[in-house]
Amino acid sequence: MSEEAVSDIIREILELKGEREAVILAHNYQRADVQEIADFRGDSLGLARLAASTDAKVIVFCGVFFMAETANILSPDKITLLPDLDAGCPLADTIRAEDVRKLREENPGVPVVTYVNSSAAVKAESDFCCTSGNAVEVVRSVSSERIIFTPDRNLGEYVRKATGKEIIAWDGCCPVHDRITADEIGELLDRHPGAVFVAHPECRPEVLRLAHEVASTEGIYGFANRTAAREIIVGSEEGMLFRLRRENPDKTFYFPPGGSLCPNMKLITLKKVLRSLRGLEPRVEVPEDTRVRALRAVERMISLG
Ligand code: 13P
Ligand code: SF4
């Protein structure tokens, strides 16, 4: 596409955004050009908070399906648009509502904490929601020493180590983070002896063991900004590079050489954002009975502050 065509698309997006009283939220893994036109960028927790507090009539969610669902759970009176409904999350797809009910039957009385990377139906079966940014805090706040944790086994293990609680973890994982190996990170650390390693908690335990810091996507930006190191190895999705470079032009970033790209996140394009603002679709609407039950779990998380 020519530069002129791109600026025409951006101009129309900005015009329509005003007319529709819309807000554009973009997850940190979005394409750079999509992040550029967004009103807010952030991690799942930050974007959920924004979705809960915005006065806009329309939320254009540039992210994946569960994130748009979470926005709709929190703001049912607003129109929530996901510019491509195929933007799913394979981690969220590892578990269904009936799986959570079965876990409860097998472990009577044990509270269920569910990572926000899950469907609304799964959240509706859960007691608490959490994100990568507050999973440890949420599990600490639950007054039980045994916790059912779904659906990410790596985040579950990280939480187990941090809280000392007994975690009954669902065996799901994020294919993007789970494929990062300790060997490739070890090699990067050997090649760049002055570098520090910051990792997302969806990485495997042996990868997290090598990390100087474990953080949500937003937390990774914070760490990159404040560390005195000039070289930073990032155990997360490659879309992070856009902001990391812009905020730290004097630092060098390395990503796992085997690749760490989330194809679902890249399905959202400027053209699709424009199309969804034009037609006010595709919409994400959680059925009301599911929404109300999922809201309890999400609100318990949001209320932790
Ligand atoms: P964050 O909440 O840390 O942004 O992570 C979301 C996600 O999908 C990670 O793969
Ligand atoms: Fe889901 Fe992983 Fe993509 Fe995050 S990076 S949206 S957890 S598949």
Overall number of domains in the chain: 3
Ligand 2: which residues within 6 Å by Cβ? 64, 89-91, 117, 174, 176, 202, 237, 262, 264-265
CA of 132 to the centre of ligand 2 (A): 12
**Which of 132, 134, 133, 154 has the alpha carbon at shortest distance from 142?**
134
Asked if residue 210 belongs to a domain, the reply is: yes
Cα 86 from chain centroid (whole Å): 16
Ligand positioned closest to the Cα atom of 92? 2
Task: State the Cα–Cα distance between residues 230 and 114, nearest whole angstrom.
Answer: 36
Residue 13, in any domain of the structure: yes
72 and 15 in a common domain = yes
Please name the residue whose Cα sits nearest to atom 3 of ligand 2: 262
Residue ranges lining ligand 1, Cβ < 6 Å? 28, 43-44, 117, 131-132, 174, 200, 202, 216-217
Ligand 1 pocket mutation, candidates 67, 93, 200, 267, criterion most atoms within 8 A of CB = 200
Closest CA to 66 of 177, 170, 151, 139: 151
Residue pair 17/38 in contact by the 8 Å Cβ criterion: no
Q: Which ligand 1 atom is nearest residue 176's CA?
A: 10
Question: Do 234 and 279 share a domain, yes or no?
Answer: no
Residue that terminates a domain, selected from 120, 147, 175: 175
Is residue 298 included in any domain, yes or no? no
Cα–ligand 1 centroid distance for 254 (angstroms): 19
Residue 296 within any structural domain of the chain? no
- Does residue 73 share a domain with residue 106? no
Specify whether 169 is located in the same domain as 102: yes
Q: How far is the CA of 21 from the centre of ligand 2 (A)?
A: 29
Q: Are residues 131 and 166 in the same domain?
A: yes
Ligand 2 geometric centre to CA of 256 (Å) = 16
Q: Which two tokens stand for residue 67?
A: 């994130």
Q: Which residue has the tokens 């590892």?
A: 94
| Domain-terminating residue out of 175, 201, 226 | 175
Q: How far is the CA of 31 from the centre of ligand 1 (A)?
A: 15
Q: Residue 292: CB partners within 8 Å, gap ≥ 6?
A: none
User: Nearest C-alpha to atom 8 of ligand 2 is from which residue?
Assistant: 89
User: Ligand 2 centre and the CA of 23: distance in Å?
Assistant: 23
CA atoms of 285 and 73, how far apart (whole Å) = 8
Domain shared by 121 and 170, yes or no: yes
* Distant-in-sequence, close-in-space partners of 191: CB < 8 Å, separation ≥ 6: none
Is residue 299 domain-resident?
no
CA of 213 to the centre of ligand 2 (A): 20
Q: Describe the crossing of helices 270-279 and 3-20 by its angle, rounded to 10 degrees.
A: 30
Helix (H, G, I), strand (E, B) or coil at 101: helix
Residue 301 domain-assigned (yes or no): no
Distance of alpha carbon 128 from alpha carbon 110, whole angstroms:
12
Any domain includes 259: no
Cα 216 to ligand 1 centroid, rounded to whole Å: 6
Report the phi/psi class of residue 109: left, alpha or beta, with left for phi > 0 and alpha for psi in -120 to 50: left
The residue to mutate among 177, 236, 266, 268, having the most atoms of ligand 2 within 8 angstroms of its beta carbon, is 177
pLDDT under 70: residue ranges of the chain: 305
Q: For the domain that residue 167 is a member of, what is the CATH number?
A: 3.40.50.10800
Residue range of the domain that includes 167: 92-175
Pocket test for ligand 1, best of 28, 207, 301 (most atoms within 8 A of CB): 28
Last residue of a domain, one of 175, 194, 216: 175
Substitution site in 47, 69, 117 for ligand 2 pocket (most atoms within 8 Å of beta carbon)? 117
Spacing, Cα 4 to ligand 1 middle (Å): 33
Is residue 294 a part of any domain in this protein?
Answer: no
pLDDT score for 45: 82
Say yes or no: 146 and 195 in one domain. Answer: no
